[in-house]
Structure 1
Amino acid sequence: MKKLILLCLIFSIGHVYAYSASLTNFNGIHKNNNSVVDSLPDVFAKNHADFLESKLRNEAIIKFGTHQLPDNPEDWVKYRTNLRKTIIQKTGLVVNHSLPLDIKETGSIQMKGYRIKNIAFQTRPGVYATANLYIPDGKGPFPAVITMPGHWRKAKFDPEGPQHLGHSLALDGYVCLSIDPWGSGERTTVHGAFDYHGTSLGASLLNVGESLAGFQISDNIRGIDLLSSLPYVDPKNIGATGASGGGNQTMWLAAMDERVKAAVPVVSVGTFESYVMRSNCICELLPDGLTFTEEAGIIALIAPRAIMMCNHKQDSAPAFLPFEMQRTVSNALPVFKMLGVEKNITYQVFDKTHGYWPENREAMLGWFDLHLKGIGTGMPKKESAFELLPEEKLLVYPIGKRNPGVQTTAEFCEKRGKELRTAFLSSGNLDALEKQKELRAILRINERSELKKAHQFASLSGWDRFALETSDNKLIPILHLAPSDPKLGYMIISNTSGKKGISAELISELKRKGRGIVIVELSGTGESTSSKEIANNKSMVLHTLSRSELWLGKTILGEWVKELNVVTDFLKSNYKAQKLSIDGNKEAGIAALFLAATGGNVDDIIMRDAPLSYQFDSGGSLDFFSMAIHLPGFLNWGDVSLAAGLSGKQIRIVNPVSMSGQKISGNSLNEYQTEFAKMRTKLKRQGETVFN
């Protein structure tokens, strides 16, 4: 209590009352009260369309229509050079051909006509990938194929798909490298627990300036390095193939590494437009991709080399349906024609479900025979019978005895995050204006969202109801209750669960104090939720929306900052609001902080259950925050303490947590208090951050 009294003395008398009312009296208020929840009316008409999906799909459709490839060789050379550079920048792709492969062989299996080696090899300094290497009997040199398993649960040796490819290719005279994708197979968080490499785990790479797609491309380029180094491989005849996520990797690898002579992506090529508000993995995300290219541009990068796409009529993923693939082929084909290699791009459509089926493998064998062996016509070839092996024979390391060099996503993010935070905290003076500018760039706030029209509806249960129509075609639903005295100002409340997540006690206390109340449901929450997001949401909250915004060059948090800014502008212009506070939980609290840090019109902030740092930790739950929390390159920029310092505002963080939702207290909390205070001093900004 003494601390709060001393804090209040810093401010003017008028400010003291407002600050104590808004920040002091609501500590620990988290529980819902159904009577209050039931009394909060909806704003939009019932059975309204999916505003969010419609908006983002329309943006993606426009992007598709505006991305066109050059129609002459001179411009094409410039375009492809710039496109490759941009892909490297956006994905964090690392290419290091001089790094020693340091191949470690842990086992060998002799099969009839070929043998299999269980190996690990170095893909980045100190980072190793696990793989199976299938080698035909004989001296060679043999053509070779790298296979990328995609999302099969057991990756390289999954008996449902990837393992088939190794046996089939080896029996047909190809060396085959089947590599575990980053975060999959033997590269999962717990060795032997074959979990999914996407959602918040894979997205955590974004916070340290990396991407799951970039890691996979880097790994696969090193796979080509490995194949090219083997004396029994013909380095001039190397192919690539995979299905679903593995087909996606096939496309990216062939586009970025010209040593891939022929590629066969299966059930994976569609359009980037079709990825928006559809169900895809974070490993298939090219950050900001639709701001500078479409999938046709990536396919065209493979020219003049050969590519055959296989898509299925019964595919459950709309983005990979034959129609979407054909749209991309029609736009990439002119580049192949321009280079005189029209026959090097083709596709086949099968009446199959999602998968890499025998019919696909036979089409693949015929295509590779033509382009890697120079035999046949490219038509499907009957595959030889083979025997599948149990997983224990194809493991590089016995379960629980994995080499530490096989880093997991969690290990990498934690290590890299600590390195970035150490560098950030030891930095000298900071240019506040420059850091604000950089934060806006990270949030992808490229332009301000303006209030276009405030649609007012009949009041219900004492609440004024508005839908704020914005200049960027959004509708923001808000509930409004005027203050008893204009001097008391407004508390803007935003909850990631929508208005039903707001506590009864908070509303009651604000009413008792006479504060004005505005309840806003940000994009993806409450009435602003997308029905498509809910339908697709089988793995992570805001999974679909997060990826879609990033494809379009935006972030959820950046959009929320813009929406909160529209709300504050509305209150200032329509109600002459003299003081504006924001109370937000989890990511909504972070959005409020970023609004203040980028110069938004807010006086003080309450953040509930918010992270004190973007440092990765695995002690709690990776699902504590939604996918909205992740920001490309945030820890390369700074951390939450820097944003708090930039704000120059009064901030109270109630129940501070880590990125996995673990409560921060004791010595750890003291260290963060010191960090936040030092950052204010370094930036020469006013205000204070208080923790409860």
Structure 2
Amino acid sequence: MHIKEYLHQMAWKADERALPSFGSADEFEVWRRQRQKRFHEMLGIDGYLAEERTPLRVTVTGSVDCGTHRINKLHYQSLPGLYVAANLYVPAGLKEPAPGILYVCGHSATQKIQYQEHSRRFAQEGFVTLVVDTIQHGEVQGIHHGTYSRGMFDWVSRGYSPSAAEVWNAIRGLDVLSELTEVDAARLGITGHSGGGSISWWAMCADDRIKAMASSSGTGHLTSHIRDRTLDYHCDCNFPNNPDGWSLTEAYALAAPRPVLIVAPARDRVFRIDSVRYVHDKLQALYRNIGAEGRLGLFEFQAPHMYTPESRKHVFSWFLTHLAGRPVTPEQATDFDGVKLPVEQLLVFGGKPPADDRSTTVEGGFVRLPVPADIETMEQLATERTRVIAALRKESFAAFPQEPIPLAAEREHEYDLMDGNCSRKFSFSSDSYWRLEGELRGIDGGSPRPAAVALRRSVHRKEDEPFDILKQLGAGWIKARIDPRGTGDSTWGPELNWHVRRSSALIGHTVTSMRVWDTLRGLEVIRARPEVDPARVLLAGKGEMAVVALLAALLDGEVGTLVLEDMPSSFLQADDDPARLGEGFEVINALRIADLPQLAALLWPVKLIVTGKRWQGYEYAERLYARLGGPGRIMYRTDTNGWPADEVRL
């Protein structure tokens, strides 16, 4: 199967999953709260929610009197040093607390200035409205386009998406509104367009204080994003970290039973109308099931990715009806009055953002990473290894098939090599969609012998090339190769790498996780051969395949020796790391559990032969191996011509 078709099939499989049926609204609420807790973990905001919230330090830098309302120019800190620039629109003459609206900006260069007319109209209708800049644009600028255009795929390994930081900024924006005497904290709503439409969804799914939502051009399903490649045009912030492979509809369901309006232009390039209708229909069935029919709306109209007067009126009508308690039809609603203030009147920082602002580097610390465990004994090592493997299976490799299909290994071809050894090519089923290949060399029908297994890389044009890493081994070994996905006959061109890597992460996979699974399945095939001693296996990989080999060995637990050539030093990528542009070696949430040096340390007493470029940053593994001693060893060789085959006795 081609990788594009596979990703499409996996997306459609997720989208087709039916939402549960509930016997009552209370039963749904139990399910929703359990899933919401997991959603917080997926985003990486669970720790922040569990702690006492840091001071907002709301600072008003100026005010504009507009007659019907005033605008306070302010900023707040969602975390210490993480500044959010905002404009607060307060209706004039309020006699009692009013409903509040959080307006989340889309990807406009001018952010709150671009969307000021929305906030103005809301204020004129009696809503206290806070319009907030995002990290990507506005007055303090960070990065949304990590994997989108900068090749920062270590975000995947961090379990970081800018949607998490934006959701947290929105949650703290709700805190700002809730603390105002002018606001009724029991009546808070959220809305936005494009990226703001997506963040409106994710904030509502994360925070129950939001009582109504209108999402404009921010709704769709996985299949469209992958099948139609609309993902290629989407900023990273549109999608939360997704280790469990949820469909977007399964996440959207967390908004129920609260009032939700989906605003969808029928000519939208990046949120296709057929995907919007599909999501709406599935959610509509859920709303009916839990007795909330009438609280989910869909307004579609003939336009590209934009607002129109009609779509805006539907949004205003929705909040007047469901949040303000003033039933108003879209036809009765009032649109903009055409008044727009100049940029300089609405700027919070006046072109001078705070020197200590963390927005430009938030991706580096928003998701908290663990401190490596202090291991002194073999017992502590065993405990930590058990914990890490369980965490990897849950947080990084949840996409592994729950019930592996039969390997169905078949002999494809057998021939004699020029050196007199016999070679046997075989194929096997990695999962329901993939038929992969491998090869055994040096089989002679004698007593079982140790096997050295090399992982093929996509750059290996010929099937002989993977064996180069094993050339130091003598005649006592059976040499084998496994062709994981993206190598050999299943390879895809470099022009697809970017799309494949982003699509894979979107549905809970990565190229590396797929290859780890393929390697584990290939090892099963090789160990089952009568010529192979299953207890004596060496596994070898280079570059991105060295990471695959290390992870497969850790999960497998029976590999005796690893040969790691040109092993990366970390899941974190430097600016000049070629993995940014190539196939990469990211693994979802891996850094939340352990980095490569810690994973290598947990392999003890596996023998580690490190070749090629010098291992950097592996002091942790070196110290642990030295502390625990034999039989574990780390052997360094500057190139593959010098590694000590005679010392590798299995």
TM-score tier after normalising by the smaller chain length: 0.7 to 0.9
Is 1:499 aligned to 2:449, yes or no? no
More helix by share: 1
Secondary structure, in 3 states, of the residue corresponding to 2:282? helix
- RMSD in angstroms over aligned alpha carbons? 4.2
Higher relative contact order (CA 8 A, sep 6+): 1
Q: Which amino acid aligns with 1:327?
A: Y
Tell me the distance in 2 between the aligned counterparts of 1:57 and 1:282. 17
Aligned ranges 1:130-169 → 2 under 5 Å: 130-139=85-94, 141-150=97-106, 152=107, 154=109, 156-157=111-112, 159=114, 162-169=115-122
Q: Which of 592, 602, 606 does residue 649 from structure 1 map onto?
A: 606
User: What is residue 370 of structure 1 aligned with on the other side?
Assistant: 321
| Kept after mapping to 2: 8 A contact 1:116/1:134 | yes
Tell me the distance in 1 between the aligned counterparts of 2:357 and 2:172. 16
Alignment CA distance shift 1:484-1:91 (3 Å): same
Aligned ranges 1:238-257 → 2 under 5 Å: 238-257=188-207
Shift of 1:511: 10
Is 1:322 aligned to 2:273, yes or no? yes
Q: State TM-score, norm by structure 1.
A: 0.74
| Kept after mapping to 2: 8 A contact 1:241/1:265 | yes
Aligned ranges 1:623-662 → 2 under 5 Å: 623=580, 626=583, 628-632=585-589, 634-647=590-603, 648-654=605-611
Give 5+ residue unaligned stretches, structure 2: 418-422, 639-650
Secondary structure, in 3 states, of the residue corresponding to 1:373? coil
Is 1:686 aligned to 2:647, yes or no? no
User: What is residue 558 of structure 1 aligned with on the other side?
Assistant: 513
Q: Which amino acid aligns with 1:643?
A: L
Percentage of identical aligned residues: 20
Tell me the distance in 1 between the aligned counterparts of 2:352 and 2:484. 44
Is 1:196 aligned to 2:145, yes or no? yes
| Kept after mapping to 2: 8 A contact 1:449/1:563 | no
Shift of 1:482: 2.1
Q: Which of 538, 545, 555 does residue 588 from structure 1 map onto?
A: 545
Secondary structure, in 3 states, of the residue corresponding to 2:373? helix
Alignment CA distance shift 1:212-1:110 (3 Å): same
Shift of 1:477: 3.7
What whole-Å deviation, never above 9, does each CA across 1:308-331 have from its counterpart, x for those lacking one? 1112222223xx333333333333
Which segment is superposed worse, 637-646 or 586-595? 637-646
User: What is residue 31 of structure 2 aligned with on the other side?
Assistant: 79
Is 1:53 aligned to 2:7, yes or no? yes
Aligned ranges 1:48-447 → 2 under 5 Å: 50=4, 52-53=6-7, 55-57=9-11, 59-61=13-15, 64-93=16-45, 94-95=48-49, 98-109=53-64, 113-139=68-94, 141-150=97-106, 152=107, 154=109, 156-157=111-112, 159=114, 162-182=115-135, 184-189=137-142, 196-199=145-148, 204=154, 207-208=157-158, 211-271=161-221, 279=231, 281-288=235-242, 295-296=248-249, 298-317=251-270, 320-337=271-288, 341-380=292-331, 381-386=333-338, 394-397=346-349, 401-409=353-361, 412-413=364-365, 416-417=368-369, 420-421=370-371, 424=373, 429-430=380-381, 431=383, 432-444=385-397, 447=402
Equivalent pairs counted in the alignment come to 609
Shift of 1:385: 3.7
Tell me the distance in 2 between the aligned counterparts of 1:364 and 1:582. 59
Give 5+ residue unaligned stretches, structure 1: 1-43, 657-663
Q: Which amino acid aligns with 1:454?
A: A
Q: Which of 517, 524, 528 does residue 569 from structure 1 map onto?
A: 524
Shift of 1:88: 2.1
Is 1:476 aligned to 2:422, yes or no? no
Secondary structure, in 3 states, of the residue corresponding to 1:121? strand
Alignment CA distance shift 1:650-1:249 (3 Å): same
Secondary structure, in 3 states, of the residue corresponding to 1:629? coil
Alignment CA distance shift 1:391-1:524 (3 Å): farther
Shift of 1:637: 2.7
| Kept after mapping to 2: 8 A contact 1:202/1:409 | no
Q: State TM-score, norm by structure 2.
A: 0.79
User: What is residue 554 of structure 2 aligned with on the other side?
Assistant: 597
Tell me the distance in 1 between the aligned counterparts of 2:566 and 2:499. 18
Tell me the distance in 2 between the aligned counterparts of 1:216 and 1:502. 47
| Kept after mapping to 1: 8 A contact 2:454/2:470 | no
| Kept after mapping to 2: 8 A contact 1:306/1:371 | yes
Secondary structure, in 3 states, of the residue corresponding to 1:252? helix
Secondary structure, in 3 states, of the residue corresponding to 1:375? coil
Alignment CA distance shift 1:588-1:394 (3 Å): farther
Tell me the distance in 2 between the aligned counterparts of 1:596 and 1:615. 21
What whole-Å deviation, never above 9, does each CA across 1:643-690 have from its counterpart, x for those lacking one? 21222333344565xxxxxxx78xxx4xx3532211224566613153
